[in-house]
Structure 1
């Protein structure tokens, strides 16, 4: 049997060392503290659940896409969570079913993917987010989008772009003003995802009628005007959605870039009328996403919800949250009371355990000289 080197980890998994581990905790805390000021209370679901329970609520994942183990106690299959949103939905539908709505919950913790992708080779990721349960109104969307922006800004992120989408738009049009059968709908959805105008035209005249949706992609104000033109040609079929998008966009600050991709579906499979992706200057791929969805109640009915999730690992790798603390070396024989006062003032103290201990080698910037902190 081949011996695994003691420092080797499975593909896609890695250690967070100082100071990045501290930066990760600090970044998550800033996001949680920000959403808490808007009334979102934290929940802490477990890392693993019964596979059946989890897959029932994970509309965008199949059982074979989850990392599974057999529980030695119950002898039932467990699945490690690939996403925390479904778990928050379970908590809202069960333990907090009688809580007043709208219910505001927040969360933070690691999630584990069975496989990585080219943009994100890591399989274990930190997920931090907030869910507003009991409504998916435009007012709820306004709150969720702006709380997500504020949370990122509190972490020092600038150059933010919000990309809006309407995940169920094709389905709504297919049964209304631009009729398609089920097979055509799936083909049109895939072609629009690829933004392939040629392939769309090749699907026939009914599919080609969706061409304006490709053109209604890009900077928000120009794209929304093209969406309005399409709506006007079909008796105002999209007017309510357009009004909703404009209401969501209106209070967002001028320093935030807004874009629109009305047919984007990848990653929004379980969301319905509204979705958004979050990007930041200098980062490849999205750093968060959110939107409206439905929670499955125990009686089989559904409850409206709205939320967002942030994936801060790329921010941590880029140095966000990594502000170096003031580290104070405490020599042998220091005054413990004075050291306690220094910690209360924000210092991180490193106490010498032997005469040979070197404060500078221990990454201290200062040392305690009597009552005073002296720099090295």
Structure 2
């Protein structure tokens, strides 16, 4: 029998795999995740609130779906996005697999098809929330993002597309984006042409789509898409690109699409610069006839995408967009004005402090006589009932 009181007789324990608290590795975060510190958090909150307000002013009601859903139900509605991108785990209550959402748009479709199925159409909804990815792409290593956007459920017409593009531009401007440009695309371009003036075998279509998306002329030829080569150059400002595209459209298969794009651009007017890249498909796997990407001069990379689509399950037409403001936050953080903050010494007049907070003052109360107002970031000090600069 082992003597439990004798340390020397205790069996050897397995080596520990935990990292000591004193180790520099103890507080590392997983790759692609980061803390949002006060200045960035303030900029993010301000930008999100401003964007949501812009959507609200256009009649879009905010909904807030849960962070986690049953994996099977969520994956069924994702249409174009792999469930393998989602964090998955077992629910100890139901013993079914749950998933942490990687995109909020499918959840909005579920809400429209279930809880709001009897609501009048077109149904205007907006949202904001965190999403997470198992793996990020090379262009954006972030695995947790703030996603916000709007969905116009029940319509994918030219009028719906114009409203959504204008709303996306206004939301970005409200959030702090400058000199916005919108790049239009035709997600189903290859399908339309392959069924008409530029026929392709069924097995060629995926390869031609891929090579057009990567702008690889050599690969396009090898895939049997020689007729599609001129499309690589029908890009640029909407007027020039549309003219080039019309010149390539001998059979008129794209006439209605080009007309629609020009009408949407006319509605946007001078609010943003409009360009056209008809072969772009990255990020538009489930859109139908119209897609767009949003950029701004004070942000690196795309700030969002949108377009027309059909909700999986109900097959209801919809038009919407999603914004990811992270590229904009760095530019906004430095522009956030320092707020006036009032230092409250020990023994201060509490009624005076209450009155000042009621009219918008931010206060920091001293916990010790040695607390330093300037070191705590205060711009003013309460002396009696008077406010004086620090």
Q: Could you state the TM-score of these two structures normalised by the residue count of structure 2? A: 0.91
Q: CA RMSD in A?
A: 1.6
The separation in 2 between residues aligned to 1:6 and 1:347, in whole angstroms, is 39
The separation in 2 between residues aligned to 1:118 and 1:45, in whole angstroms, is 29
Q: Which has the higher contact order (CA 8 A, sep 6+)?
A: 1
- Aligned pairs, how many? 369
The separation in 2 between residues aligned to 1:148 and 1:73, in whole angstroms, is 40
Bigger CA radius of gyration = 2
Which residue is equivalent to 1:3?
Answer: 18
Closer, same or farther: CA 108–345 of 1 in aligned 2, 3 Å: same
SS at structure 1 position matched to 2:311:
strand
SS at structure 1 position matched to 2:256:
helix
Does residue 150 of structure 2 align to residue 130 of structure 1?
Answer: yes
Which residue is equivalent to 1:261?
Answer: 277
SS at structure 1 position matched to 2:94:
coil
Instruction: State the 1:213 CA deviation.
Output: 1.3
SS at structure 2 position matched to 1:209:
helix
Instruction: State the 1:262 CA deviation.
Output: 0.5
Which residue is equivalent to 1:200?
Answer: 220
Match of 1:212 among 230, 236, 239: 230
Does residue 327 of structure 2 align to residue 309 of structure 1?
Answer: no
Does residue 374 of structure 2 align to residue 360 of structure 1?
Answer: yes
Match of 1:184 among 198, 204, 209: 204
Q: Are the counterparts in 1 of residues 67 and 100 from structure 2 also a CA contact under 8 Å?
A: yes
Which residue is equivalent to 1:349?
Answer: 363
Instruction: State the 1:174 CA deviation.
Output: 0.9
Is 4-13 or 81-90 further displaced after alignment? 4-13
Q: Could you state the TM-score of these two structures normalised by the residue count of structure 1? A: 0.94
Does residue 69 of structure 2 align to residue 49 of structure 1?
Answer: yes
Match of 2:348 among 334, 339, 353: 334
The separation in 2 between residues aligned to 1:147 and 1:57, in whole angstroms, is 25
Q: Are the counterparts in 2 of residues 131 and 305 from structure 1 also a CA contact under 8 Å?
A: yes
SS at structure 2 position matched to 1:121:
coil
Instruction: State the 1:186 CA deviation.
Output: 1.1
Q: Are the counterparts in 2 of residues 128 and 309 from structure 1 also a CA contact under 8 Å?
A: yes
Instruction: State the 1:117 CA deviation.
Output: 2.0
Q: Are the counterparts in 1 of residues 64 and 127 from structure 2 also a CA contact under 8 Å?
A: yes
The separation in 2 between residues aligned to 1:11 and 1:130, in whole angstroms, is 30
